[in-house]
Amino acid sequence: MRNLNKLSLLILVFACPVFVWAQTKRSPEFKEKYTLKEVVVLSRHNIRSPLSDNGSALGKLTPHQWTKWSSASSELTLRGGVLETMMGQFFRKWLVDEGLFTENYVPSVDEVNIYANSMQRTIATVQYFSSGFMPVANLSIHHRYTPSKMDPVFFPRLTKVSDSFCAEAMSQIAAMGGKNGIRGINEKLEDSYQILADVLDLKDSPACKAGETCAFDDYDTQIILKKGEEPAMKGSLKLANSASDAFILQYYEETDARKASFGHEISNSDWEKIARVKDVYGDVLFTAPIVAYNVAHPLLVYINDELNSEARKFTFLCGHDSNIASVNAALEVEDYELPNSIEKKTPIGCKLVFEKWLDKEGNEFISVNLVYQSTEQLRNLEMLDKENSPMVYQLQLKGLDLNSDGLYSFKDVCTRFEKAITAYDDIK
């Protein structure tokens, strides 16, 4: 889906109903009927270095050296900054074309809200995005703390934990593995674990030689749910996730694909299998409904308030993949797999975009899309414009009906937010 022009909701439904695309070329008829009133974005930060370095457990999983990153551990890389600036430029052109802003617009303090979690990678992401988005506006960037500290709004921690909560959460997580429960989750990843071990050359690694890890074969994953902390785990899925995460980032950062895979010749399908480990890890920790209601609650309240702010035209919130995953789960987004990306759920730099549209009678509508750069756009540092836009994938909300133009009733979406927010209050 390369030759796209502007964000829109003309929908093509393929043979499999999971693959529903929101195209970016709006029809004249659509533009006659609707005016864009507001956009709220929840973004994942762009490319960072791994959360751990060569001297950590990650470094011991391979005899090879990971890429020399252009940033310190967990911080935004130079490539990540360039890619985010491109995305900001694309959003500027899109919103000018839709009439929400004029070229070189300087907004009032109430019209635009840019707010990041207080981590280096999220603050840096919004700085780069805003420079591309409104380069002459000198936008104020809001974050609460000196880097790097987690802001409670973005911190996906459990604030309510009880025996009944843990029992329900574990039941919902186990259901992801089918009849074999937690083990079943790992069994479904057997192919991914194998390709990951092969590309790492795990059997030749310091970890294996020390008798610690020669295979990802601990399928009895332990889930840890503690009040005030993020959901966590122990076992092969956790260890494999650290390698999966590092490989994904290395693939984006390293222009030589063979070098990114430590000299192995692997296919795009293999890269997708490697990335699947990270996708599943995030699903297990953050998308069980009762967990999502718990950890996403502050963001759900914040986004709902922004969507109902009369003065606001544009909101950009920057957090993490766990934020997008948990918000989607709490809002009951239908399951999906993103095309043209090795990451199928929350690719690096992706944006959950809520667009508020107004018809001529004053009725308000919402579309919900994931906007992201394809794997090739990330790897090749491709400029984004009308002829080569980012990917735009329309998300489906369970139980809500789209109108004939592919839009949800604003009232229905607000009711869905209220349901998710109230579900937190019901956790005992």
321 catalytic residue (yes or no):
yes
Is the sign of the CA dihedral 342, 344, 350, 353 positive or negative?
Answer: positive
| Alpha-carbon distances of 156 from 285, 326, 422, rounded to whole Å | 10, 8, 18
34-44 vs 351-359, strand pairing mode: antiparallel
Note whether 52 and 72 are within 8 A (CB). no
Among 151, 245, 283, 321, the active-site one is: 321
Q: Which residues pair with 357 in a beta bridge?
A: 36, 365
Q: Which two tokens stand for residue 119?
A: 């981590």
Phi-psi region of 145 (alpha: psi -120 to 50; beta: other; left: phi over 0): beta
Among 45, 143, 297, 320, the active-site one is: 45
State how far the Cα of 42 lies from the Cα of 214, in Å rounded to an integer.
39
Planar angle of CA 411, 323, 278, nearest 5 degrees: 130
401 catalytic residue (yes or no):
no
Note whether 136 and 106 are within 8 A (CB). yes
| Alpha-carbon distances of 127 from 97, 131, 323, 329, rounded to whole Å | 23, 6, 19, 28
Q: Which two tokens stand for residue 116?
A: 């990041």
Asked, as a colleague might, if the bond just before 192 is cis with ω within 30 of 0, I would say no
Residue 142 neighbours by CB distance under 10 Å: 14
Residue 202 DSSP code: G
| Alpha-carbon distances of 183 from 179, 213, 222, rounded to whole Å | 9, 18, 10
Q: Which two tokens stand for residue 211?
A: 């008798």
Note whether 10 and 31 are within 8 A (CB). no
CA 42 to chain centre: 8
Which residues are the active-site residues? 45, 321
